[in-house]
């Protein structure tokens, strides 16, 4: 029986805005040009292995992780091209977080494929395939998948994360409805990679069609089951999912493997099933929703510019000033331009009316603390950051923030709490402040 995790919020149907695309079947879309960023998520920027004028094939590697120092792991996965064509340029291009070196490829429309990946039928073989296929966490985090499974900790459970609790997004939902057999194939491979751990496919109850399809697919399968979860945000956070399904707490500063668990996004699970059939990670499903003429779920090559997705969906509606978000409105990144391309972790493009939220003084209601899944005091961290007292954020454990945005969402004073808590957390990562 799923257990409640601390904090979080319940949106309800009107706020979730999932109905716009929940029944929208996945449509393929391939642009004439790809912009393949060499930094695809968490970790290092890859090194291009092609140059302008080179011909490339669909599935060919165009970027490889940099060489690590000593035995330290490199947090990156290779980048593959999703079309055949010619390399136009290798140059910096805009990304959701600034700028990254990119390989720009003009498609020839032929889709000529590179040689297939090697098959995998053993634990080490699946782990090697994860690395070769360029798999990362496709729910947004972007952590290389093979590194999760190359742990020396005993793993008892693998949770396939199909919660998809973020408003507007339905890309994972449609994958589960339309490709349950692929979810199962990937889940079997994850079980093998984790030394026959129990696999639980975790889905919120607001996706009954996905649950029905998956329960039918896993019926009679050893070690694989479907878990129904109550609807609550951020149910899809690793720590919250583990708490809800298993009642286990990930230790502060630790990883899920420390309590015998690995969490893998359902999109990554399907990508692993594709890799087993010889195809590296070159495509993903992206939800385009919000102030959009024709909201949709699109199956696109990595490197497709978001401007082309919006145009394909009929453009934005109305005359308002728009806020473009890569991902969902709670955890996504506001974009300076729609020329940013899709990366492996791009779950959606959400178009919203740009509203100026005027902050007022904190009224000490404590709402932000009540909904914080990490048991933090966002109002106190907010005050410390404004006052320039970053050292105080150590005592307030700002490094434990998961950037879910619940604090800002609930705040009646419209404080920019999530932004400032994230600033404090980033200071930890950049070693500007340290624990005593």
pLDDT in tens, 12-60: 777 899 999 999 999 999 999 999 999 997 788 999 999 999 999 999 9
Q: Which two tokens stand for residue 413?
A: 């004073």
Looking at residue 207, the DSSP 8-state letter turns out to be: -
Query: Which position has the token pair 């972007």?
Result: 142
Q: What is the topology classification, in CATH, of domain 28-107?
A: OB fold (Dihydrolipoamide Acetyltransferase, E2P) (2.40.50)
Domain spans in the chain, listed from the N-terminal domain onward: 1-27+117-355, 28-107, 367-429
Check: CB of residue 420 under 8 Å from CB of residue 393: no
Q: Which two tokens stand for residue 35?
A: 């912009």
* Average pLDDT over all residues of the chain: 93
Q: Rounded to a whole number, what is the distance in angstroms from the first to the last CA of the chain?
A: 40
Is residue 238 over pLDDT 60?
yes
**Residues with Cβ < 8 Å from 303, sequence gap 6 or more?**
34, 35, 36, 37, 81, 82, 105, 341, 342
> For residue 281, what are the CA distances in angstroms to 1, 29, 56, 207?
34, 16, 16, 26
> For residue 298, what are the CA distances in angstroms to 35, 326, 399?
17, 14, 35
Over the stretch 321-367, which tens digit does the pLDDT of each residue have? 789 999 999 999 899 899 999 999 999 999 998 877 789 999 999 99
Residue 80 forms beta bridges with which residues? 61
pLDDT of residue 176: 98
C-alpha span between 368 and 153 (Å, rounded): 35
Is residue 76 over pLDDT 50?
yes
Count Cα neighbours of 141 within 13 Å in the Cβ-side half-sphere. 20
Angle between helices 123-132 and 180-193 (to 10 degrees): 120
> What is the rounded average pLDDT of the residues 240-266?
94
Residue 93 forms beta bridges with which residues? 100
**Residues with Cβ < 8 Å from 4, sequence gap 6 or more?**
230, 232, 244
> What is the rounded average pLDDT of the residues 247-265?
93
Query: Which position has the token pair 């394909």?
Result: 312
Is residue 99 over pLDDT 50?
yes
> What is the rounded average pLDDT of the residues 98-115?
96
pLDDT of residue 231: 93
Q: Collapse the DSSP code of 92 into the 3-class scheme (helix H, G, I; strand E, B; otherwise coil) and give the result.
A: strand
Instruction: Please state which CATH class domain 1-27+117-355 belongs to.
Output: alpha beta
> What is the rounded average pLDDT of the residues 250-275?
95
C-alpha span between 65 and 350 (Å, rounded): 30
C-alpha span between 146 and 133 (Å, rounded): 10
pLDDT of residue 3: 67
Share of the chain above pLDDT 70, in %: 97
pTM over 0.75: yes
Is residue 296 over pLDDT 80?
yes
> What is the rounded average pLDDT of the residues 403-430?
89
> What is the rounded average pLDDT of the residues 174-192?
98
> For residue 312, what are the CA distances in angstroms to 29, 81, 171, 413?
8, 21, 17, 38
> What is the rounded average pLDDT of the residues 199-212?
97
Is residue 436 over pLDDT 60?
no
């Amino acid at each position: 029986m799923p257990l409640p995790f601390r904090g979080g919020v319940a949106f309800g149907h009107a706020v979730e805005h999932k109905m716009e695309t929940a029944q929208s079947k996945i449509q393929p879309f391939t642009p004439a040009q790809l912009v393949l960023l060499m930094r695809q998520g968490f970790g290092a920027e890859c090194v291009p292995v092609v140059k302008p004028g080179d011909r490339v094939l669909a599935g060919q590697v165009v970027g490889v992780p940099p060489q690590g120092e000593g035995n330290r792991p490199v947090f990156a996965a290779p980048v593959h091209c999703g079309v055949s064509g010619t390399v136009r340029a290798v140059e910096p291009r805009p990304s959701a977080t600034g700028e990254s070196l990119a390989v720009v490829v003009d498609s020839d429309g032929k889709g000529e494929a590179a040689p297939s990946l090697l098959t995998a039928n053993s634990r080490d073989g699946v782990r090697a395939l994860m690395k070769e296929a360029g798999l990362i966490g496709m729910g947004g985090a972007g952590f290389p998948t093979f590194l999760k499974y190359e742990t020396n900790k005993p793993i008892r459970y693998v949770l396939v994360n199909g919660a998809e609790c973020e408003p507007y997004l339905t890309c994972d939902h449609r994958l589960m409805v339309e490709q349950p057999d692929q979810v199962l194939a990937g889940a079997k491979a994850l079980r093998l990679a984790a030394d026959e751990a129990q696999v639980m496919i975790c889905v919120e109850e607001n996706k009954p069609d996905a649950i029905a399809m998956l329960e039918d697919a896993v019926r009679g399968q050893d070690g694989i089951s479907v878990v129904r979860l109550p609807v609550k945000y951020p149910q899809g956070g690793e720590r919250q999912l583990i708490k809800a399904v298993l009642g286990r707490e990930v230790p502060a500063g630790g990883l899920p493997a420390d309590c015998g668990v690995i969490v893998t996004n359902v999109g990554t699970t399907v990508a692993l099933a594709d890799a087993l059939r010889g195809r590296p990670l070159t495509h993903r499903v992206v939800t385009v929703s919000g102030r959009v003429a024709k909201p949709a779920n699109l199956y696109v090559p990595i490197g497709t510019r978001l401007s082309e997705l919006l145009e394909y969906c009929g453009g934005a509606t109305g005359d308002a000033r728009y806020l473009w978000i890569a991902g969902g409105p709670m955890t996504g990144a506001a974009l300076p331009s729609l020329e940013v391309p899709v990366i492996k972790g791009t779950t959606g493009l959400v178009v919203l009316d740009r509203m100026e939220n005027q902050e007022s003084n904190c009224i000490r209601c404590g709402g932000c603390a009540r909904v914080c899944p990490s048991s933090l005091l966002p109002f106190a961290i907010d005050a410390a950051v404004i006052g320039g007292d970053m050292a105080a954020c150590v005592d307030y454990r700002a490094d434990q923030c998961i950037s879910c945005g619940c604090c800002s969402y609930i705040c009646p004073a419209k404080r920019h709490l999530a932004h400032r808590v994230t600033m404090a957390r980033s200071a930890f990562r950049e070693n500007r402040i340290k624990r005593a």
